[in-house]
Amino acid sequence: MLTRISHRSKILCNAYSTVSRPLDPWNSLISSDTRINQYGDRILSGTTYIAKDNIVTKDGVTTSASHMLSNYHSPFNATVIELLADNGSSLIGKSNLDEFGMGSSTTNTYYGPTINPQDNDEKRISGGSSGGSAAAVAAGLATFSLGTDTGGSIRLPASYCGVIGLKPTYGRISRWGVVPYAQTLDTVGIIGKDVDVIEKVYETLNKYDKKDPTSMTTKVRSLVRNTFDEKLIIGIPEEFIIEELDESTKEQWLHYINGLKSLGHDFKVVSIPSIKKSLSTYYTLATAEAASNLSRYDGVRYGFTEDEIQPSASDLITSNRSDSLGLEVQRRIILGNYTLSSVSGDHYLRATKVRQELVNEFNDVFKLPHVLLEDIEKVKSNKCDLLISPTSMGKPPTIKEYTENNDKNFLNSYLNDILTVPSSLAGLPSISVPMKDGSGLQLMSQYGDDELLFRITRQLLTL
């Protein structure tokens, strides 16, 4: 079975970086008797999944698609891996990604690019950085997959591969055991074809984890309010109505808006001005955090190390990092170190302020209060329950087109995140739902109001 999956994934899409035996769902620190009493009928029995290869597993290697970690064996499982095993789902492999999650195409990877299985002849990109996770689900190689989303890394590949991709509220799902890229943005999420399966996985993973300092506490979870109204007010951010959107994507966006109108929902155009600054804000904050997080990879304590003897420890570390980290990772480390240096001035502080402005502007358009920032009884009338936009600018380009454009100007690849970054900066739950033209439709709700996304996704899938 695993040999067949490995061979097929190589032919179809290069989605898997490694394939492992299924994890024994009883193999953990908790005794079997405790598990039976606690879970009884396990909610995910019979399902299989893959985990993005920046989520650690003690069975096999965890590489983050980097030469630096190509021989790294974790001594423990991530919390999400343990929870899925507890509830009956079997891990069958680790998926390819942009190295350390840095990219939007899954071409910046030590294992070679992941090909979009929807159009294998054209060899189109699968999106990134969770491109392997999305491609594997699209190709039918697993029931669902886990990915991580820092600025759109679940939603964009889900859009390109024609599947559903959920980025929950920041802090809903534990990050403990996730190789960090930018810890104030990294969010574990779920990719699948069936919204019911995704919701079950979400319910399984939606737990407070004391090992994760960014995990939403039990108290905060109890304070979160959810939208139960049948008739919703759905906002269309005018900052997302941009010329660069593909005409087919615009038409499909309008089609689904009209479809939701026919179901009784109301629409209004809203303005969130800081969206225009979100891309530069994101790359300032994310690269600064990445430079700090990736400083630990020196090849001395673990990971890739040169065979040749170097004159000094400094030369060894420089050689290790230069030879084992990809071009995009090196670029972002350099950019992040510049941002954190005194030479850059106050770029980091200014980006932090824009991020706060963006959060406040999102709060101004949502009906429900933000449980961390506002009076939880403060419900604003005539405001939005939900926001809607395309997930991507259009259909996925071919790998050749993408590479050629990136070679001309590497900033072109950063523009792929323009529609997804805002909700990441604000920590809002978002989901990408497949549209009929091969792109995706993005829904965003207030902080903590994740369940609303499942309900509206089901309605969209009927249109």
pLDDT band of residue 17 (cuts 50, 70, 90) is low
Q: DSSP characters for 226-285?
A: ----SS-EEEEEGGG--TTS-HHHHHHHHHHHHHHHHTT-EEEEE--GGGGGHHHHHHHH
| Mean pLDDT to the nearest integer, 10-37 | 41
pLDDT for residue 15 is more than 80: no
pLDDT in tens, 379-426: 999 999 999 999 999 999 999 999 999 888 888 888 889 999 999 999
Percentage of residues in the chain with pLDDT exceeding 70?
91
User: For residue 16, what pLDDT band results from cuts at 50, 70 and 90?
Assistant: low
Tens-place pLDDT, residues 115-130: 999 876 789 999 999 9
Question: What domains does the chain contain, in order, with CATH numbers?
Answer: 2-223 (3.90.1300.10)
| Residue 356: per-residue pLDDT | 98
Task: Over range 97-106, report the average pLDDT.
Answer: 96
| pLDDT level of residue 235 (50, 70, 90 thresholds) | very high
Output the pLDDT for position 308: 85
pLDDT for residue 25 is more than 80: no
Residue 59 — very low, low, confident or very high, per pLDDT cuts 50/70/90? Answer: confident
User: What pLDDT sits at residue 153?
Assistant: 98
Provide the pLDDT for residue 309: 84
H helix runs in 123-194, sequence order? 131-138, 155-161
Ordered strands of the 187-192 beta sheet: 16-19, 90-95, 48-52, 144-149, 187-192, 164-167, 430-434, 440-445, 386-390, 233-237, 266-270
Q: For 170-201, what is each residue's pLDDT tens digit? A: 999 999 999 999 999 999 999 999 999 999 99
In percent, the amount of the chain with pLDDT more than 90 equals 82
What is the reported pLDDT for 12? Answer: 43
**Is residue 20's pLDDT more than 70?**
no
* Ramachandran angles phi, psi of 111, nearest 5°: -95, 5
Give residue-wise pLDDT tens across range 336-367: 999 999 898 899 999 999 999 999 999 999 99
Nearest to 106 by CA among 334, 425, 326, 388: 326
Give the pLDDT of residue 38: 43
> Per the confidence metrics, is the pTM higher than 0.85?
yes
The per-residue pLDDT for range 72-89, each reduced to its tens digit, is 999 999 999 999 999 999
Handedness of CA 313, 314, 317, 323 (dihedral sign): negative
The mean pLDDT of the chain is: 90
pLDDT digits (tens, 9 = 90+) for 290-316: 999 999 999 998 899 988 888 898 999
> Which residues are designated catalytic?
52, 129, 153
pLDDT of residue 414: 84
The residue type of 27 is N
Q: Which helix (H) or strand (E) holds 213?
A: none
